[in-house]
Amino acid sequence: MPKKKDPPEDPKQQHERFKEAAREIGADESGKAFERTFGKVVPPAKPPKEQG
């Protein structure tokens, strides 16, 4: 018999856990850290070649 699903979680509790996890990893709201890290992982886009 399949395991029963856990009851749905209270959105407030889930939100608080999310915020706490974000604080622990040092996330910021500006997105600067994300852009910096993303730039290391994904190479910059190459300009399109001119047709002609």
Q: Is 8 helix (H, G, I), strand (E, B) or coil?
A: coil
Q: What is the pTM of this model?
A: 0.42
* C-alpha pair distances (Å), 29 with each of 10, 20, 33, 37, 42: 24, 14, 9, 15, 21
CA distance linking residue 36 with residue 21, whole number of Å = 20
What radius of gyration, in Å, describes the C-alpha atoms of the chain? 21
Please write the tens of the pLDDT for every residue from 9-43: 788 898 889 888 888 887 777 778 778 888 888 87
